[in-house]
Amino acid sequence: MGRRGMGKYMDRRTPSSFKIQITSMVDMFVILLVFLLKTYSTSPVNITPKDGMRLPESSTLTDPIDVVKLMVSRDGVFVEDKKVMDLDKGKLAANAVDPNDASFLRPLFEELDKRAKLAKDISKVNDSFEFDGKVLMQADRDLAYDVLQKVMYTSMMAGYADVKLAVVAK
């Protein structure tokens, strides 16, 4: 057939235009972006250890919850960044312990009890808020167990019976 036989097909020199329909591709990328943003989560709880504090290590995968933060370092006990008790190199002062109960820490109890009463008053007014008695405790891993036991006991006496320990992921 040569060039002459193809002539009528070759003479049709219409400019070829190829238009890309990117609407569906943009839709696909938007869906992918929304999916990735929804699956990427950061913890809503900000835990910042005090300078020099070394938290214990763990392989837990659960995220912390936003509750009252209790920090026990070598130099003091803090409730939401407010220092309520002094510690001397991780040791409790003699006047910090209640004379009637060797595990009861009066200054810590007063601060936690004040916060518990405030939370209970808010829950009476606001039905969507509920006092759950949870506390997140950050404790230096070099502290003696008896100090932590007294802090946990006192927090339970103040109404915070659910104590969660903050740890660093390995």
Please write the tens of the pLDDT for every residue from 75-97: 889 998 888 988 888 888 877 88
SS3 content of the chain, % helix, strand, coil (to 5): 35, 20, 45
Lowest mean pLDDT among 7-11, 47-51, 57-61, 111-115: 7-11
CA terminus-to-terminus distance, the chain: 76
* The pLDDT value given to residue 153: 92
The band of 99, judged by pLDDT with boundaries at 50, 70 and 90, is confident
Contact 134, 67 (CB under 8 A): yes
Question: pLDDT for 130-148, tens place per residue?
Answer: 888 888 888 888 888 888 8
Which is more confidently placed, 69 or 63?
A: 69
pLDDT higher than 80, residue 118? yes
Which is more confidently placed, 163 or 65? 163
Q: Determine the average pLDDT of the residues in 65-78.
A: 84
What are 125's two structure tokens? Answer: 């007014």
CA 13/CA 34 separation, integer angstroms: 45
